[in-house]
């Protein structure tokens, strides 16, 4: 028994560090179990089992009410000595295995009893604020019991029980000691020792009145002297779980759970020692109960609301940029954001502008600090903010210039220089109204800011710079021989481009030398621009038909491919305008369509056109060479020279490269020429076919072997070029 009690106490103390306590208003359920011991007619050293379940309610921290239901089993020995002591109960000379008098049941070595208890107890709790809470209790209960034969009770009811010689239920009075040790706020290890005054002597089925005195041998029995009611003692150890109610150890208004959640000390009502209880900080002031200065302003959370009337949640109650603690140190008002009334926050004065928050005009320039900062954007600590040589007050009150800008009109000249040196208006960026600001005229363009047209070309400086992009200090910007004003106002040419119409002639040359129109690239509308006529074709840019051959210069160049400076391009004494074949020398003829045309060619006649060039390894014409276009024109003229003419277009290649590819290219190129002729209006009946011969029919023999190696690339190319050709073969002559 001692070992059991010591074990219970040891377990309790192992959990003493847990933060918990007995708290009023809490409801719990629990159970315990342990050993039972009875004293009566058969008192011996037998222990058996008991258990109970209960509901426990803490009325206040020191008083608890508990309602419990218990089941207890006891057993006791019915040995030889017991049989001799109670012959009226067991029978004379009874032995184990004999029958009980008047019963069929046999006497065993042990009997037992099952006891049910229903109890209500009131406990007094010692040290309710500690983890280990011992208590004493008394109460009132009701019990029922059932004495049985044998230690399991399966042999049947005990004799007096079976005969109904006593009541098996009655009131009983429990009392005892116990303890609770808190594993946490809700879970508790409980233990108790309960002694019960039972009010019956039949717990073991036998009352002391049945005792007959000394045994027959005259020796006093060990059971002699058992007088009065039977007694019951139980020892229990178990768990209790609190399901309702919260704990608040320190009475600060926060439950233990809430304190653990917040990280405060559940056993200290003012964790941070700032003078406010943790509950007040959390619920009333919303400050940090773990920090004596929640807002970090140097004042503790208690002093702010109680002493200075400031907020303990805002480091800067008046939101002026200086925290409350610093304001008190500086002697400024923590509840007034602008102590000196200069329209600047105290914090801005201290931290931003470095002005005196107790003096509305720090620099004594007759402008308040607020006006300087907010209205004039000047430095409240300097009397000439923009360093333009004029004091801020003078600029505001006398010159009406901006005291925060050295250059009020933003023209690139500071106000003092405009007034004293250049005699310009410091409030007007363009004194002469020419569209250029004064600073740009002096510093960038070198013009006179008080004169609108510096170079005297009748265009004001601003228009020259911004509109016409001309040089305002030069009267002929593009050096074309015409003044800028003349170009703009008289000739409508571009004064920044020497050749306005991009015809290859300067505007001045067109006006002064060639008398052409400098804004029209083709003055005579002959489809050739003036520059090409003068410089390339040597034609008259003022005459549509320079050579008087009845064809406009542009037609000759672009359409007929004739020479616009030669009235008879093919030299057959028929002028180009009358010549039906101006590119093929012929004879004069009165026949329509035959004038200047040659006699019909004979069948089988071949004519080569080696200067129709193609892009390498393709069938695409190479128009980068002018000869291609000219020879295509001659080819077209040749094929269309008369009705009924039919030709075969032959393609030939040099021996350079792969023969198979040369064959393919010659065929493709012959077909390409046919396509082109058809696209130019040649009738399909005029084309008998297209044939490619590759390098099989060279016009000039190409060198091989040693001769090839010795020949220069240039000479070799001249030979090969003759073999790379388009040939026209007459298959049917003219009708």
583: confidence class by pLDDT, cuts 50, 70, 90? confident
Cα separations in angstroms, 260 against 254, 282, 289, 290, 515: 10, 13, 12, 12, 105
Residue 381 · residue 363 · CB < 8 Å: yes
450 assigned to some structural domain:
no
CATH number at residue 699: 3.30.1330.60
Q: What percent of the chain has pLDDT over 70?
A: 95
* Residue where a domain stops, chosen among 228, 245, 262: 245
Quick check: is 470 in a domain?
no
> Binning pLDDT at 50, 70 and 90, where does residue 227 land?
low
pLDDT of residue 211: 54
The pLDDT score that the predictor gives to residue 21 is 62
In a domain, 170, yes or no: yes
Q: What is the distance between the alpha carbons of residues 635 and 725, in angstroms, rounded to a whole number?
A: 12
Report how many domains make up the chain.
Answer: 2
Q: Is residue 648 in a domain? A: yes
Supply the CATH number for residue 139's domain: 2.40.160.20
* pLDDT in the model for residue 108: 93
**SS3 (DSSP) at 564:** coil
DSSP letter assigned to residue 684:
G
In a domain, 117, yes or no: yes
CB 24 within 8 A of CB 193: no
> At which of 245, 264, 293 does a domain end?
245
Confidence of residue 281 (pLDDT cuts 50, 70, 90): confident
Asked if the structure places residue 74 within a domain, the reply is: yes
Nearest alpha carbon to residue 266 among 15, 25, 23:
23
> Would 108 be classed as within a structural domain?
yes
Q: Of 245, 279, 313, which marks where a domain is finished?
A: 245
How distant, in Å, are the alpha carbons of 465, 477, 494, 495, 497 from that of 481? 20, 10, 12, 10, 11
pLDDT digits 0-9 by tens, 327-363: 999 999 999 999 999 999 999 999 999 999 999 999 9
Using the predicted structure, report yes or no on whether residue 245 has a pLDDT greater than 80. no
pLDDT > 90 fraction of the chain, expressed in percent and rounded: 64
pLDDT tops 70 at residue 6: no
Look at the alpha carbons of 20, 24, 28, 33 in this order and tell me if their dihedral is positive or negative: positive
User: What is the rounded end-to-end Cα distance, in angstroms, of the chain?
Assistant: 151
Domain enclosing residue 628, as ranges: 600-732
Whether 24 maps to a domain, the answer reads yes
Mean pLDDT lowest among 16-25, 173-182, 228-237, 714-723: 16-25
């Amino acid at each position: 028994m001692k070992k059991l009690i010591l074990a219970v106490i040891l377990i309790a103390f192992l959990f003493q560090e847990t933060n918990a306590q007995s708290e009023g208003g809490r409801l719990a359920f629990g159970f315990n179990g342990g050993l039972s011991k009875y004293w009566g007619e058969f008192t011996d050293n037998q222990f058996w089992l008991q258990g109970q379940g209960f509901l426990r309610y803490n009325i206040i921290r020191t008083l608890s009410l508990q309602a419990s239901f218990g089941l207890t089993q006891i057993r006791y020995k019915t040995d030889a000595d017991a049989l001799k002591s109670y012959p009226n109960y067991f029978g004379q000379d009874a032995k184990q295995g004999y029958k009980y008098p008047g019963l069929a049941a046999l006497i065993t070595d042990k009997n037992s009893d099952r006891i049910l208890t229903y109890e209500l107890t009131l406990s007094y709790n010692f040290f309710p604020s500690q983890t280990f809470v011992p208590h004493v209790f008394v109460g009132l209960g009701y019990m029922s019991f059932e004495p049985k034969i044998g230690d399991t009770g399966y042999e049947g009811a005990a004799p007096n029980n079976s005969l109904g010689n006593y009541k098996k239920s009655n009131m009983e009075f429990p009392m005892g000691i116990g303890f609770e040790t808190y594993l946490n706020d809700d879970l508790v290890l409980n233990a108790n020792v309960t002694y019960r005054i039972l009010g019956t002597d039949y717990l073991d089925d036998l009352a002391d009145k049945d005792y007959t005195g000394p045994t027959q041998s005259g020796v006093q029995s060990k059971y002699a002297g058992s007088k009065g009611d039977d007694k019951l003692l139980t020892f229990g150890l178990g768990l209790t779980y609190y399901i309702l109610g919260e704990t608040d150890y320190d009475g600060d208004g926060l439950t233990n759970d809430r304190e653990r959640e917040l990280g405060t000390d559940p056993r200290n009502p003012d964790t941070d020692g700032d003078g406010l209880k943790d509950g007040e900080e959390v619920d009333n002031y919303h400050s940090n109960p773990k920090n004596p200065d929640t807002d970090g302003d140097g004042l503790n959370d208690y002093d702010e609301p109680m002493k200075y009337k400031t907020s303990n949640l805002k480091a800067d109650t008046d939101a002026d940029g200086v925290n409350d603690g610093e304001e008190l140190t500086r002697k400024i008002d923590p509840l007034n954001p602008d102590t000196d009334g200069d329209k600047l926050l105290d914090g801005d004065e201290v931290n931003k502008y470095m002005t005196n928050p107790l003096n509305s005009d720090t620099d004594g320039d007759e402008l308040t600090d607020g006006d300087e900062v907010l209205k004039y954007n000047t430095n409240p600590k300097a009397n000439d903010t923009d360093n333009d040589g004029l004091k801020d007050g003078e600029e505001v009150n006398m010159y009406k210039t901006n005291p925060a800008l050295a250059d009020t009109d933003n023209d690139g000249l500071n106000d003092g220089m405009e007034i004293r040196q250049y005699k310009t208006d410091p409030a007007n960026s363009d004194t002469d109204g020419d569209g250029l600001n004064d600073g740009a005229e002096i510093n960038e363009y070198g013009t006179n800011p008080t004169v609108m047209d510096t170079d005297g070309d009748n265009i004001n400086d601003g228009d020259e710079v911004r509109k016409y992009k001309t040089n305002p200090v030069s009267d002929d910007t593009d050096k074309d021989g015409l003044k800028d004003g003349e170009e703009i106002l008289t000739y409508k040419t571009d004064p920044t481009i020497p050749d306005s119409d991009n015809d290859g002639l300067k505007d001045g040359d067109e006006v002064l030398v060639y008398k052409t129109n400098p804004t029209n690239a083709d003055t005579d509308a002959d489809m050739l621009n003036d520059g090409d006529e003068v410089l390339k074709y040597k034609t008259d840019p003022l005459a549509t038909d320079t050579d008087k051959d009845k064809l406009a210069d542009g037609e000759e160049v672009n359409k007929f491919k004739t020479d616009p400076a030669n009235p008879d391009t093919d030299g057959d004494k028929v002028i180009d305008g009358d010549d039906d074949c101006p590119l093929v020398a012929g004879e004069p003829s009165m026949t329509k369509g035959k004038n200047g045309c040659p006699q019909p060619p004979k069948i089988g006649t071949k004519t080569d056109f080696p200067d129709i060039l193609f892009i390498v390894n393709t069938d695409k014409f190479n128009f980068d060479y002018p000869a291609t276009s000219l020879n295509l024109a001659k080819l077209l003229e040749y094929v269309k020279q008369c009705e009924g003419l039919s030709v075969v277009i032959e393609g030939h290649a040099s021996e350079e490269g792969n023969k198979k590819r040369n064959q393919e290219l010659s065929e493709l190129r012959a077909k390409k020429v046919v396509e082109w002729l058809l696209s130019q209006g040649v009738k399909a009946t005029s084309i008998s076919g297209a044939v490619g011969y590759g390098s099989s029919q060279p016009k000039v023999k190409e060198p091989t072997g040693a001769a090839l190696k010795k020949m220069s690339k240039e000479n070799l190319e001249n030979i090969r070029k003759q073999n790379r050709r388009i040939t026209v073969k007459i298959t049917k002559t003219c009708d």
